[in-house]
Structure 1
Amino acid sequence: MDASEVLEESLQNMSIQDAETQVMNEQEINDLMNSVIDWGDSEGVSNEEIEADDSEDEDYVPRICIRLGGALQAPPCIDNLPVIDASETVHDIPDVEPPSVTLPTLQQPGFPDTLEVMTEDDLIGKRASITYEDCLRQLATLLVLPVQKCPYTCDVSKMECQCRPPFEVSITRRGTASIMEWTCLVGHTVWRWSSQPTLRYGMLAGDFMLASNILLSGSNYAKVSLLFQFMNMGMVDRSSFFTIQDTYGVDTVKEFWEERRAEAINRLKDRDVVIVADGIMDSPGHCAQYCTYTAMENESREIISVITVDKRETGRNSVIMEREAFVRTVDTLLNEVKLVEVCTDAHVQISALMNKGKYKDLGLQHSLDMWHGAKNLAKRIHAASQVKGQSSLSSWLKDIVNHFWWCCKTADSYQEFL
């Protein structure tokens, strides 16, 4: 075989491999049956750094993650997936072109009115930008106001101010907005301009949108405020944030959630329902004040229950908050849908509830989340590898955990799993 034939054959092989790599089924990639357990954030990190990363801590958990598509023969290629624009990632709101504004000229004397938000269409989806004051000042110095002299007239003497341009420009901060003011040499205000439209009662649109979206995005006021402080940007004050949250946010979110939840429950009434549930505390340890317990329907992956338990409702005992939240969740869903199975982590108190009493009598099946199981297995094997003379276990850690994961995916019964 001469060199040209070898080159042609290699090019054909490359094209075949490229075709196999590029063909990608999104549903196939997202199927957990095609997933493996992998070590997260390990690129560019040496083995020595990984092993030294708090590995002697008794509570150390190896940095494992679920790698979708890792079990497929051909490596997944995401190049052919549709590109999601940044605007599509936030509430699916399409870009809205800014309205055309006719700027005033000397032939059109007078100043434009302050933009006001009269309907939600005047605000939702409108583009916004971060603007520096130096840039605003540069623009203001080049702006020719549509007046020949200061428009001020004394109320008593009826004397008109005779000051003429150029006028002095000052920029002040009000919440998240910048207010530019042109004043004459005597100090009369010629024009005042705001970088944001105003809502009813004078509230700035940017303040309202920032306060609302901190709540809707699950962010934290203190952290966002610190971010704005580091960037030397104006921020809606704390009292205004909580006023907006209490007045406009909380009840609206609650009504929206109850409406969507009712729709989901109606869709599930006529079939067997399997839920995946877990709780999260507002702080680690025994000092937690709240526990939020969330239940997701396994097939549709819709959230159908969110319950928050206050420590004061459990005799100030934070240890039993997750158990109490679990009981409320299951009892509520049993009255609404045909609940046949509940999947949770290996919580001792929840397992005890499911192994006896009314839940067992109802035939409600309890299964354990294997992702938590994989993490706990990795943690225990890693701890065992720290024992003197057992360091060789660390080289088997990834393979053992992946075998456990494969058994969980393929076994149809406990006996088959064993």
Structure 2
Amino acid sequence: MQLFNACPVCTRACDVKTQRLGTFLSVKQRCPHCTFRRQWNSQPILGSTPAGNLHLSAAVYLSGASFIQIEKVFKAMKLELFRYETFRRHARAFIEPAVIHHWKVTQDVNLQRLTREEKVILGGDMRADSPGHSAKYGSYTMMDLQTNTVVDIQLVQSNEVGGSCYMEKEGLTRSLALLESRDVKLDCIVTDRHPQVQKFLRERNITQYYDVWHFAKGISKKLEVLCKMKDCEKLNKWMKSINNHIYWTAANSTSGPERIAKWNAILNHVQDIHTHENPLYPKCEHAIRTTTDKKKWLQAATPAFYKLESLLTKKRTLKDVEKLSPHHQTSSLEAFHAVILRFAPKNVVFPFIGMLCR
């Protein structure tokens, strides 16, 4: 401020007035002894908005940071900062319209590319904004699994559909309606095992595959429970092998019946029997080796084998195995949802447009 005290023309004392607006500082200098006038701004002004304020709001929003936390940092450093209401005004007027415009342009390019392809393989999954069954928002993401490109995001509010348990089906319905309107030729879709989604896709005659990771996760949880039961401790040694068998069955089968044949072969394998009755998979493909740990093999008519057989040959389990995805999985979708956590943490409430942009 000492630079403004003396007039650069007559070197006498000047009248100095300052104006602050968030991170913006304006200094007006007037010499009462001569005609010298000067106004200095610490940053450019875009219309009536200081550029630095707008840039800071955009940086906070687009990096997934929290304005409340930034405000605490500025307060600790004794730096001037605009209020939260100003941040929200910047978001509504500039940042959110820019995000939505950019998304629409990018999405249009992706949909035009998919329209030219003969067979499109998509993955779909929903992310809720809170754990449990009390979510307010659910974002259904549709991804092109051949390029790992997000082609559509549908944000559904629970009160639109009568409850959070109906959001996933509604998100999928809206995504498919958009793809149909753009003449995208869908070959198949890979999802988790949501019952409403299964029924909906079955009625629409759309080929559906299940993500192997979701299936393996469910089987592993049930196996962990079995291992803790009396006389079933031996199953601990087979946990990893059964998990690997799930992925191998999905990746090395060309049809549903073949997947079931290979899946059921694990029950013989754990008994050290490597030939099977099903002609679709008559014997194990691995080399027969003499094992050093003979105690790991299960015996028929024992509690451990009976419980394992009951779990792996359930009607629901076999139906799921038949539809395991052979090639494409939704792991990229799960990774994308993990990234969203940085921008929309599950313990923070956002308005609808704010949630959509994040």
TM range (shorter): 0.5 to 0.7
2:240 is aligned to 398
Q: 1:161 to 1:195 in 2, by over 3 A?
A: closer
- Structure 1 distance, partners of 2:169, 2:195, is 9
Q: How many residues align?
A: 253
1:16-56 superposed Cα distances (whole Å, 9 cap, x missing partner): xxxxxxxxxxxxxxxxxxxxxxxxxxxxxxxxxxxxxxxxx
Q: Which runs of 5+ in 1 are unaligned?
A: 1-139, 154-159, 165-170, 183-189
Alignment of 1:147-296 (within 5 A): 150-151=6-7, 175-176=22-23, 196-201=43-48, 203-225=49-71, 235-270=81-116, 271-296=118-143
2:156 is aligned to 309
Q: 1:259 to 1:162 in 2, by over 3 A?
A: closer
Alignment of 1:72-83 (within 5 A): none
- Structure 2 length-normalised TM: 0.58
Identity %: 27
- Structure 1 length-normalised TM: 0.51
1:372 is aligned to 214
Q: 1:191 to 1:224 in 2, by over 3 A?
A: same
343-352 or 228-237, larger mean C-alpha shift: 228-237
> Greater relative contact order (Cα 8 A, min sep 6): structure 1 or 2?
2
- Structure 1 distance, partners of 2:77, 2:253, is 54
- Aligned with 1:411: secondary structure? coil
1:100-135 superposed Cα distances (whole Å, 9 cap, x missing partner): xxxxxxxxxxxxxxxxxxxxxxxxxxxxxxxxxxxx
1:320-340 superposed Cα distances (whole Å, 9 cap, x missing partner): 111111111112212321112
RMSD: 3.9
Q: 1:389 to 1:308 in 2, by over 3 A?
A: same
Shift of 1:208: 1.3
1:381 is aligned to 223
Shift of 1:272: 1.6
Q: 1:208 to 1:365 in 2, by over 3 A?
A: same
- Structure 1 distance, partners of 2:251, 2:76, is 47
1:254-308 superposed Cα distances (whole Å, 9 cap, x missing partner): 2222222111111111322111011111222232111111101121222111111
Shift of 1:152: 10
- Aligned with 1:286: secondary structure? coil
Shift of 1:341: 0.9
- Aligned with 1:350: secondary structure? helix
- Aligned with 2:151: secondary structure? strand
Q: 1:372 to 1:222 in 2, by over 3 A?
A: farther
- Aligned with 1:299: secondary structure? coil
2:146 is aligned to 299
Q: Is the 8 A contact 1:211 1:236 kept in 2?
A: no
Q: 1:163 to 1:234 in 2, by over 3 A?
A: closer
1:415 is aligned to 257
- Aligned with 2:103: secondary structure? helix
- Structure 2 distance, partners of 1:211, 1:304, is 28
